Chains A and B, each alone.
Chain A
Amino acid sequence: MTIDLTQFHDAFFDESFEALDSMEAALLQLDTGNPDPELINTVFRAAHSIKGGGATFGFSEIASFTHSLETLLGELRDRRLTVTQTICNLLLKSVDVMRAMLGSAKAKQPVDIQSVADLQFDIELIIAQRDTRMAAAPMASRLDSGTAAARGTIPEPGASVEWHIGMRPGPEFLERGTDPVRIFRELSALGTLTVTAHLDALPSWQDLEPQRCYLSWSLCLLSDAPEAAIREVFEWVNADCGLTLSPSSLISAGATAAAAPTIVVPASQAGSAAEAGSIRVGVEKIDELINFVGELVITHAMLSQISRSVTGPAADALRSGIQQLERNARQLQESVMRVRMLPISVVFSRFPRMVRDLAQRLGKQVELQITGENTELDKTVLEKIGDPLVHLVRNCVDHGIEKPALRLSAGKNPVGTVHLNASHRGGSVVIEVSDDGSGLDDQRILSRARAAGLASPDGTLSPEQIRELIFVPGLSTAEITTDVSGRGVGMDVVRRNIADLSGKIEVHSEPGRGSRFLITLPLTLAIVDGLSVAVGDQTYIVPMTSTIESLRLTPSQVTTIADGREVFAFRDEYLPIVRLYKTFALTPRARALHDGLVVVVEGAGRRIGLFVDDLLSQQQVVIKSLETNYGRVPGISAATILGDGSVALILDVADLIRIASRREAA
């Protein structure tokens, strides 16, 4: 009897992607100077499990590649090879390649064999070099009473060895006052030095930033000096300079790595993953559970309503039973909701790598701090918050953090800091993306906005109002459009994506000190805290996150301006009144403003007063999609089921404001 293995493929892919995530996290924490053996073990185990699964399920390319990778990791684990920046970069590249391979295999697409083969070749080259080194060692240390060389070749005293040195300084190398001339002069004192300069990275002289180092060198040193003496020459340059050093019997380990920016990730992240026992459950099963619990809550509300009209000897017992049911139902609801919650580290974990690559590409030094990564958030929210966060973090690194030279001249630490923080605040989750860079340039934002016709040319705006402008479509403040950010999507898209999650984003900035973006999100998309309001015979839910205040207006507070539009003074601004019965074409009970109530709501950075007949209650409601069976409805985000089993629509405040302003414009 044969077992159909395809049924296990999904689990294999899920587990492999997770293994890759933990592999990447461990690699990013790996300190090449002093590698933590436990981190190497983590990486090794991850590769090993992918290899095993790949072989079992017949993904031969994956199995073959991970085999090579595992061999290399074995060498590193057993300290037959030292962890260099080159190897570390190679391992990170392997994570990418394996992700792509698994992605292709999952989508049943052909694998990009060339990139896999290239990388596999590089890996095997390093392993092969280790073999040469091991073979060379006993010969070279013949006279050394038979002890094996710890690393590399120990030349016989007095014998000259040809050393190959690769040196690729980081961009700020020269500014820091390290002069390659001095280094090479010292080297030439140790023996015969031949220098080859690589000019291929040197731009035309007009485009060249003269402080920046574009040159790299290959050196060949024939010397009888011990390796330590040669290394000593480079003692002060290691941090900001890619460096390779090998005796000539070895093949050069390929391109040297560029200087890597430092990234600090709290150590708690790696250890916390997957320690507790867990089972894998399909999301749809959890959603089904959540739906049933939602039903239970509604049924309870129904029962409780009926029980109020019950009289007789059993009535009290019935009511206390229903109260008990309510407690149980709430607890069950909370527990089930918690099943859907995942720590935000799932999203944050991609940033160390991203910031590292980005900083490297932009020639900046950035330290990424992550805190509150164990804050839990609904899975759906998590899935959708990733892109806006990527955009914000990119912006911080690209536009916020200045180049090291500029930071130094401003008296700042040349290493910029980007801080990601998540925390619970009441019933919401607050995610904070901040940097200690240059802050928003209010003047430039304003002049851009005026140039684009988004702000009036002579009106004065408060700093807060100016910063609101960055969320307006069509305003990009990037001085130079880079391939990192400033193309196509802007902050307006970020705000819209966050609004789609019933969240909001605000920005704080201090010139020269940095900027801070605060995103407030609901814990879950399954439930919303709402204010129920009555209009005619209909009930609507206004999300609490959008409401500011409700008030009853007296006729004197209302001004009617051109074409019948009504406005009222609220705090220090005039807000338009939107009569919900008109928007929704209903017959209201209250037509005169003083007969009903105005709910001040806010969305997309604007406020309006919604005129309704009455406020009914404040309650938590279970969100039900209208799009499952119908479609999008203007001004409405979703529906819910009330205690009596009837349906109430949940208002989409931002959309209502949009509709209202479109009417004004018409």
Chain B
Amino acid sequence: MDPVRKLAPPGGSTDDPPPGSQVVVLPVDCTVHNISLLRERLCGVAADARDITLDLRQVEQFDTSTLQLLTAFARDRAARGARLLTCGARPDWDEAVQLLGLTATLAGGSSVP
């Protein structure tokens, strides 16, 4: 897939993780080659009962495998009564979520106030 160039964050309102939630910073490479690392990071916070915010600002590359893993993770959060939020998502992230038909599970968690 095409590497996605890092763009300047738009507006800035969703850039910073909201206070009071557990934050997971997603790595630069969120493709299938690096997917195990992402899962390990999620493992570290999975038991946390609070909302979890994914900090997407570092992400330069991603593909469906990450979105698939996050979909499963989001389902798990919902089952625990907690939310999975995102911050710092660029438009291509949101576009991918929409293209894959995963808005119901993933984009619902956008941390836009």
What's the Cα separation between A184 and B32 when bound, in Å? 18
B32 touches A174 (CB 8 A): yes
Assuming A202-B72, A205-B73, is B100 touching A184 (CB within 8 A)?
yes
Assuming A177-B1, A179-B63, A210-B36, is B42 touching A215 (CB within 8 A)?
no
Asked if A181 is at the interface of the complex by the 8 Å CB criterion, the answer is: yes
User: A170-190 interface mask toward B, CB cutoff 8 Å, 1 = contact, 0 = none?
Assistant: 000011010111101100100
What's the Cα separation between A188 and B96 when bound, in Å? 12
Assuming A181-B100, A217-B101, is B71 touching A202 (CB within 8 A)?
yes
Chain A residues contacting B75 (CB-CB under 8 Å) are 199, 202, 204-205
Asked if B25 is at the interface of the complex by the 8 Å CB criterion, the answer is: no
Q: By DSSP majority rule, is chain B's interface helix, strand, loop, or mixed?
A: helix
Chain A residues contacting B63 (CB-CB under 8 Å) are 174, 179, 181
Closest to A214 in B: B68
Assuming A174-B65, A184-B99, A215-B64, is B76 touching A210 (CB within 8 A)?
no
User: B49-60 interface mask toward A, CB cutoff 8 Å, 1 = contact, 0 = none?
Assistant: 000000000000
Asked if A619 is at the interface of the complex by the 8 Å CB criterion, the answer is: no
Assuming A174-B65, A205-B42, A215-B68, is B101 touching A185 (CB within 8 A)?
no
Chain A residues contacting B102 (CB-CB under 8 Å) are 197
Chain A residues contacting B24 (CB-CB under 8 Å) are none
Asked if A157 is at the interface of the complex by the 8 Å CB criterion, the answer is: no
Choice from A180, A196, A199, A203 contacting B64 with Cβ under 8 Å: A180
Assuming A180-B64, A210-B35, is B100 touching A215 (CB within 8 A)?
yes
Choice from A181, A208, A210 contacting B1 with Cβ under 8 Å: A181
Chain B residues touching A, range: 20 to 34
Asked if A195 is at the interface of the complex by the 8 Å CB criterion, the answer is: yes
What's the Cα separation between A215 and B69 when bound, in Å? 10
Chain B residues contacting A188 (CB-CB under 8 Å) are 99
Segment 202-224 of A: residues with Cβ below 8 Å from B: 202-206, 208, 210-211, 213-215, 217
What's the Cα separation between A371 and B103 when bound, in Å? 52
Chain B residues contacting A213 (CB-CB under 8 Å) are 64-65, 68
Chain A residues contacting B65 (CB-CB under 8 Å) are 174, 210-211, 213
Closest to A195 in B: B101
B91 to chain A, nearest CB (A): 12
Chain A residues touching B, range: 20 to 34
Asked if B6 is at the interface of the complex by the 8 Å CB criterion, the answer is: no
Segment 3-41 of B: residues with Cβ below 8 Å from A: 32, 35-36, 38-39
What's the Cα separation between A202 and B68 when bound, in Å? 8
What's the Cα separation between A582 and B69 when bound, in Å? 71
Chain A residues contacting B38 (CB-CB under 8 Å) are 210
Choice from B2, B76, B98, B100 contacting A180 with Cβ under 8 Å: B100
B3 to chain A, nearest CB (A): 12
A–B complex contacts, Cβ < 8 Å, 5 sampled: A185-B99, A199-B71, A199-B75, A202-B75, A205-B69
Q: Assuming A179-B1, A215-B68, what are 9 further A-B pairs, CB within 8 angstroms?
A: A174-B32, A181-B96, A182-B1, A199-B105, A204-B72, A210-B38, A210-B39, A211-B65, A213-B68
Residues of A within 8 A of B (CB): 174-175, 177, 179-182, 184-185, 188, 193, 195-197, 199, 202-206, 208, 210-211, 213-215, 217
- Nearest 7 CB-CB pairings of A with B: A195-B101, A205-B72, A197-B101, A210-B35, A184-B99, A179-B1, A179-B63
